[in-house]
Amino acid sequence: MASSSSCRTWHCLLALLLLSSAAYGQLSPSFYAKTCPRLELVVRSTMTKALLADRRMGASLLRLYFHDCFVQGCDGSILLDDMGNFVGEKTAPPNGNTVRGYEVIDEIKKNVELVCPGVVSCADITALAARDGVFLLGGPSWKVPLGQRDSTTANLNEANSDLSVTSLSLDVLIASFAKKNLSPRDLTALLGAHTIGFSQCVNFRDHIYNGTDIDPAFATLRKRSCPAQAPNGDSNLAPLDVQTQLVFDNAYYHNLVAKRGLLSADQLLFGGGSQDALVRQYAANPKLFESDFVTAMIKMGSLRPPSGTPTQIRRNCRVVNS
């Protein structure tokens, strides 16, 4: 009897060790090579369908991924719905009514579960969806570091403090990325994601009406759909890239050089500061931009929750497993 009990204890310890190593093991593009070999095919096909229905979705899922990784690491915490006394990141002001695409993540998760039940994290699905959104809009592809796990909680306070784009200076912007171990070069490359997608009037109203570092003709153009008096037109959309908002290219940097950055945080990259030279390089050399963007995405995608954070593989990306 004692021997049987000891055996069961040994198995429990072994299971705990395996779970622990899985939670904090090395990330790798081949993490699911044996456990879910069809993963990337399922994600790509579902993303293709989503973008055929709405080409904006590529930019939306890229933004969702950024906002996930910038709060306690790339852990799928942004996907958790508010329930009962739990208030997560999804409805934080920087996310609520602006981050979209949750239903696409749900659809990918559903399709992945059909072929590999209980294996792939929502965090990794979000990372692959962001990569494929970029690729399907004409941008680069890359090998995503996989093996992230889903957190069992979220951080509303960190979402409110770390996702604000109302930076008053380039130094503040650089410092906010440095908190995530991302360099000024990473910052300038990652903000190139604004070569696709749209933003709401409430986010750029102050820049087009009160900004001093903006092309007057561009400001006039944007004022047509963004009234000066809030809350009139708050949710009206304008393209982040005035030239090719549904194509992933380097036009964003041409816009910055021409003082046509839609958001004040964008134009901070080119205004007599430390990133001017790099912005000019990206404008002149699209391959350099793509290479640096991929490097920065892989670096950001490796951000993990603090050591000891409880994690799991969620069955439903919106709720913690019961």
Query: Is there a catalytic annotation at residue 67?
Result: yes
**Cβ atoms 86, 17 nearer than 8 A:** no
Residue 77 assigned ligand-binding role: yes
Which H or E run contains 196? Answer: none
Residue 119 assigned ligand-binding role: no
**Cβ atoms 240, 194 nearer than 8 A:** yes
Residue 186 assigned ligand-binding role: no
Residue 54 assigned ligand-binding role: no
Residue 11 assigned ligand-binding role: no
Which of 11, 67, 207, 254 is an active site residue?
67
Place of tokens 């000024």: 184
- Exposed (0-12), middle (13-18) or buried (19+): which is 251, by Cβ within 10 Å? buried
Residue 291 assigned ligand-binding role: no
Residue 75 assigned ligand-binding role: yes
Q: CA angle, corner 303, sides to 306 and 119, nearest 5?
A: 85
Residue 68 assigned ligand-binding role: yes
User: Between the CA of residue 83 and those of 22, 44, 67, 91, 177, what are the distances in Å?
Assistant: 28, 31, 20, 11, 31
Neighbours of 14 (CB within 10 A): 10
**Cβ atoms 263, 207 nearer than 8 A:** yes
**Cβ atoms 86, 38 nearer than 8 A:** no
Residue 71 assigned ligand-binding role: yes
Q: How many CA atoms lie within 13 A of 189 on its CB side?
A: 22
Residue 249 assigned ligand-binding role: yes
Residue 138 assigned ligand-binding role: no
* Binding residue numbers for Ca(2+): 68, 71, 73, 75, 77, 89, 195, 241, 244, 249
Known binding-site positions for heme b: 194
Q: Provide the annotated active-site residues.
A: 67
Specify binding-site residues: 68, 71, 73, 75, 77, 89, 194-195, 241, 244, 249
